[in-house]
Chains A and B, each alone.
Chain A
Amino acid sequence: MSRRQYANWGYYIPYGLWIGLFVIAPVGLIIYQSFLNLNHHFTLANYETYFKSGTYLMMTVNSLWWAFLITVFTLLISYPAAYYIHQLKHRQLWLLLTILPTWINLLLKAYAFIGIFSQSGVVNQFLGLFGIAPQQILFTNFSFVFVATYIQIPFMILPIYNSIDDVSDSYINASRDLGATSWQTFSKVIWPLTLPGVKAGVQSVFIPSLSLFMLTRLIGGNKVITLGTAIEEHFLTTMNWGMGSTIGVVLIIAMVIIMMLTGDRQADGGRVR
């Protein structure tokens, strides 16, 4: 038994290296740096500054709020979309089409939206046909949430689709046979069974949404400020890497909390799959 384990150990090397070099080491460095001040002396002052400063706390609340909004809108669109795609004939093709935008670079997509939303953009030209004067769409909260939602949708659809796909038709048939209405079938059978997919989707959308700093500038015009903006500033302008790392640590902790809240609790959920 032990020899067998030893032989299998070789398979873990690539994974172990990856985790060590690109996950554990960077996180360790960030935590280490968050305790250094500008003169590279050990200090707790960065955390003190963070939790005493109304600006940073406000920014944290803002980040969470925007990420929450983006996640809610993404979920509202993705769940029905995944459900509908699952019932289509050429579902693999439709799924491929929904994932297609992720093949295009994020920056390119952001720039495309600048072209769509600007004063002389497609939307305003269309409104112009009805005699409506150009509206300010770019640099509004609406445009920021819209573009972020658009970008995140594929990452939500995919896990939800997979979990819907896992639900056996026989459960649905059984539910119908036993006299459940469509709504009851959905709320008592399909929804609970697809919850793991929803949780996975929420994780993969909420967490990156916490620090979408490129979009806050390009689409939000820096009128939407998230923690990503502050991190960028501390690393590139003030060169106060300690403070930047502190904000990074706070973000990491926020992500861990999200993971715990949305984690699969198989034990109390009974048999999920």
Chain B
Amino acid sequence: MKRLLGLAIAILAVCGLLGFSANRLEATDNSGGGNKVLNLYNWGDYIDPSLIQKFQRETGYHVNVETFDSNEAMYTKIKQGGTSYDLTVPSDYMIEKMRAAHLLKPLDRSRLKGMQNFDPRLMNLDFDPHNRYSIPYFWGTLGIIYNDKYVRSGQIKHWNDLWSPKYRNQIMLVDSARDILGFALASNGDSMNTTNNSQLLAAKNKLDRLSPNVKAIVADEIKMYMAENESALAVDWSGEASEMMANNSHLHYVVPSEGSNLWFDNLVIPKTAKHYAAIYAFLNFMMEPKNAAQNARYVGYATPNEKARELLPKAVRDDRQFYPDAKTMAHLQIYQNLSPQLVGRYNDLYLEFKMHTH
């Protein structure tokens, strides 16, 4: 008994010690640059580092960048607290979810300069009406990348083309339940946000029939494989596609005109924010067309800032692959935040599809 008590006390003591030192560490972290800091919580490699340098030079704020690799990981970290992120970059459905969970602070419009620079089609969307909480950072689509060494141009125009038996063991898919079930739903003419079980089942059964054509379901590695001509076709996001295409001129990107996903990554102020002067300085800095254009050239994604787009080279600015025409735009769908039960349903079906693959 004495032993047990001693053990319990010792464990508590260590916990206390760990908590205390974590607290101290955080305190020193924040006081690092006094109040002249900005803690940016961003996706990996999602901002031009020279822009951060420029911002620091111009304003004197020190920018700490931390990165995440999934919306869910970011959400968990912000929700659990203990962090002091001033700005973060969730995607559309996650903004809706964070809004519902009261994790976001509304933007003060009077302190923002340049909101009129944005493409009105990309503003005031369902996930954030009137952009009360978010400013678009980048946007893009889901589509098909093909290698013209193996696939003649014009042969891939629609999702259904992927099911052709000539692409046996030729397609790589991005490892994301929502996107893979999403394109199967779109190919059936159903909503990518469907809550209808029979539509979901139909999509899953259709995916099962795709599995002989699926070479692999991978994540970031797709970029490397496609650049090295490992596979003829891939389903991935436009931003990833632009990086692949920068490394291999045989690659092309197609957004099926019958419908696909339209996604946004927007800047928001999470509840953990502290340094408001720095936040608004940074937001205004990033909205300046010159800076937004430089960032778009570095990251390679489509910029929502129209003034910035005008500053891009003509070949980029008018590239239909990344700035689709009005007709395709009209068919694109934004993911809505689904209930946890439905997210589970999507993922269970996706897991079954993966099991079927092998």
User: Which residues of A does B touch, CB under 8 Å?
Assistant: 9, 13, 16-17, 20-21, 38, 53, 55, 58-59, 62, 114, 118-120, 136, 138-139, 141, 217-218, 221-225, 229-230, 233-234, 236-240, 243
Contact = CB atoms under 8 A, between A and B. Distances in A.
A238 B347 contact: yes
Interface stretch (B83-91, B216-224, B274-282): B216-224
Contacts of A120: 228-230
A9 B70 CA distance: 46
Contacts of A243: 344
B315 interface: no
Interface residues of B, number: 39
A237 B343 contact: yes
23 contacts: A9-B6, A16-B7, A20-B11, A21-B11, A55-B355, A59-B351, A114-B224, A119-B229, A120-B229, A138-B216, A139-B216, A217-B217, A221-B217, A222-B175, A222-B218, A222-B354, A223-B357, A225-B354, A225-B358, A230-B351, A233-B177, A233-B351, A238-B343
Given A38-B341, A238-B347, A225 B355 contact: yes
B340 interface: yes
Contact of A119 (B175, B228, B351): B228
Contact of B340 (A139, A229, A236, A239): A239
B215 interface: yes
Contacts, number: 97
B352 A55 contact: yes
Contact of A237 (B14, B72, B352): B72
Name the residue among B7, B72, B340, B348 with the largest chain A CB count within 10 angstroms. B348
Interface string B308-323: 0000000000000000
Interface in B301-358: 340-341, 343-344, 347-348, 351-352, 354-355, 357-358
Interface in B52-84: 70, 72-73, 76
A58 B357 CA distance: 13
A119 B230 contact: yes
Interface in B155-206: 169, 172, 175, 177
B125 interface: no
Interface string B223-243: 011001110000000000000
